[in-house]
DNA sequence: TAAATTTAGGACCTTAAATATCTTGTATGC
DNA sequence: GCATACAAGATATTTAAGGTCCTAAATTTA
């Protein structure tokens, strides 16, 4: 399963919320506009993030999204896999029945190892680390909201 | 770009040829049957492998594929990228214009780093290492060819 | 409490890519 | 010359991504 654009959008959304601060309500419109995400598509993505417990969604006028967790308690892997499911590089590393006897195959372990390596790398990137540096996603100034 | 089934087939094909030995002619039919690859699809894949200089294709009666290089001079990355193009985990690590200023974004480097890590891992797996171990792809016995 | 705002959730659409298969042509060996 | 085996381009088929539309529901505010 490949890392989709939806996963990328989810990360952008979380980065934006993290930089606004835990507990701060931000409208979907603002996030969509600032992080350059199609608004309706963001709705879908946010629903999954909410179901997974990363954000809270408030409906109605003055609604929007709120970050629930501490940035240091969230990592890229969690967010990505919330959207696209468990990462696997190919069918060999995912489907047990793609081949007759994967246990005997030297290539198979390469895929499973590489997949683990990738997952570990992403797991090591927490959102507090991310937010300490600069970002190409600009944060809209308070009071200048439209 | 994700690692496709076609790439997996290409690897299976190369593993089969490596185990038969450099310079040994093997019919497409045999490879397709033993490595469980659709014969016509294998033809397409083999053409790309041939164009990239990994195998030679012999036409006509008693035609087939022949491994050109030493197994230790070939690695998984080469084969995979011959089929699917340069590996990149997502659009962030591939498209320069997906975001306004990638240089400023802390997440962007995660993707490029993770992509490099993956490519390095695959590059380190040469076919001589692979063929030293067992494989789920069984090799058809000489004389018992059908 | 009616109206305005904002998201929810499901249905639907569009495009692109993977995964082949078909058909016709060409090279080779006997 | 004829059977065999691959070449190469055209043509499905299937799957998924990426996104839009529409009606309902929740919340605020006048
Ligand atoms: S990696 Fe090996 S076991 Fe896995 S599908 Fe490929 S050939 Fe089969
Ligand atoms: S990783 Fe950063 S620079 Fe790259 S596309 Fe995502 S937000 Fe933009």
Closest Cα of chain A to B56: distance in Å?
A: 23
pLDDT at B142: 37
Q: Distance from the CA of B18 to the center of ligand 2, in angstroms?
A: 41
pLDDT at A143: 27
What's the CATH code, domain A5-132?
Answer: 1.10.10.10
* Span B58-99, pLDDT tens digits: 998 899 999 999 999 999 999 999 999 999 998 766 555 566
Q: Which of B13, B76, B93, B114 to mutate to test the interface with A (most CBs of A within 10 A)?
A: B114
B146's CB contacts (< 8 A; 6+ apart) are: none
pLDDT at B146: 25
With a 6 Å cutoff on the Cβ, whether A8 touches ligand 2 is yes
pLDDT at A141: 39
pLDDT at B12: 92
Q: Does A97 touch chain B (CB under 8 A)?
A: no
Across all residues in chain B, what is the average pLDDT? 84
B55's CB contacts (< 8 A; 6+ apart) are: B14, B17, B46, B49, B65, B66, B67, B68
pLDDT at A93: 65
Q: What are phi and psi of A21, to 5 degrees?
A: 110, 145
Categorise residue B91: left if φ over 0, alpha if ψ from -120 to 50, beta otherwise.
Answer: alpha
pTM value is 0.87
Inter-residue contact B16 to B138 (CB < 8 Å): no
Q: Which two tokens stand for residue A78?
A: 């969690």
Of chain B, the end-to-end C-alpha distance in Å amounts to 38
B136's CB contacts (< 8 A; 6+ apart) are: A99, A100, A101, A102, A103, A104, A105, A108
Please tell me the number of the ligand nearest to residue A98's CA. Answer: 1
**Which nucleotide is at minimal CA–C1' distance from A59?**
C7
Percent of residues, chain B, with pLDDT higher than 70: 81
Q: Domain locations in chain A?
A: 5-132
Instruction: Supply angle C-alpha A6, B81, B1, rounded to 5.
Output: 10
pLDDT in tens, chain A (146 residues): 579 999 999 999 999 999 999 999 999 999 999 999 999 999 999 999 999 999 999 998 899 999 999 999 999 999 999 999 999 998 766 555 556 565 667 888 898 899 999 999 999 999 998 877 655 555 443 322 22
Residue B130 pLDDT class (50, 70, 90 cuts): confident
């Amino acid at each position: 399963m490949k890392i989709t654009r939806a996963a990328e959008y989810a990360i952008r959304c979380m980065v934006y919320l993290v930089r606004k601060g835990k507990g701060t309500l931000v409208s979907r419109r603002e996030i969509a506009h600032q992080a350059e995400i199609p608004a309706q598509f963001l709705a879908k993505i946010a629903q999954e993030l909410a179901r997974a417990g990363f954000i809270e969604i408030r409906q109605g006028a003055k609604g929007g999204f709120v970050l629930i967790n501490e940035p240091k308690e969230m990592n890229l892997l969690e967010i990505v896999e919330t959207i696209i499911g468990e990462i696997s590089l190919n069918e060999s590393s995912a489907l047990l029945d793609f081949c007759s006897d994967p246990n005997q195959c030297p290539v198979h372990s390469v895929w499973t190892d590489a997949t683990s390596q990738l997952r570990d790398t992403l797991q090591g990137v927490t959102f507090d680390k991310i937010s300490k540096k600069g970002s190409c996603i600009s944060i809209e100034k308070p009071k200048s909201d439209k």
